[in-house]
Amino acid sequence: MKGVFLAILLVAIAGKSLAAETPTQFIERYVSYFNNEDSARYQTTFKFPVISSKGGVLQVFSDPDVPMANFDNIKKTGWVTSRIDSIKVLSESSVASLVEFSFSRMDSTGSPFFQSTGHYGLVSTDDGWKIQSWFFVKPITVGND
């Protein structure tokens, strides 16, 4: 019985902390899903439709069943992991946030081979923050383009 109570308590705490998550904490979690190649959890970080602008190419992703990243293709670029260089919340309200996110993609030697800064439009949902748009001036791949 104690085990069941503990499990319920942990779920309640996890849900509560997710609801109280800041945009910065959300981006950190988002990157951890990416680095762990956790496609299922990575997919849950988006609110569809998602507007994507990368290197001047605009796309709208409407189907939540279509993966937002293809890790096999990303690995072909030499990617092993991504490092957060900075996260800056530019604007935040109770319903939306604009976040500037700089990161480096690291190769097998631990050296950065690609650096970029993007701007993420987040929306607040019943499940916490979600990405509804991203804008990168520099072309970047998430392996599905």
Digit-coded pLDDT (tens) for 88-138? 999 999 999 999 999 999 999 999 999 999 999 999 999 999 999 999 998
**What span, in angstroms and rounded, lies between the C-alpha atoms of 136 and 118?**
5
**What span, in angstroms and rounded, lies between the C-alpha atoms of 48 and 64?**
6
Q: What is the pTM of this model?
A: 0.83
Please work out, in degrees rounded to the nearest 5, the angle formed at the alpha carbon of residue 142 by the alpha carbons of 105 and 18.
85
What is the set of domains in the chain, with CATH numbers?
22-136 (3.10.450.50)
**What span, in angstroms and rounded, lies between the C-alpha atoms of 49 and 28?**
22
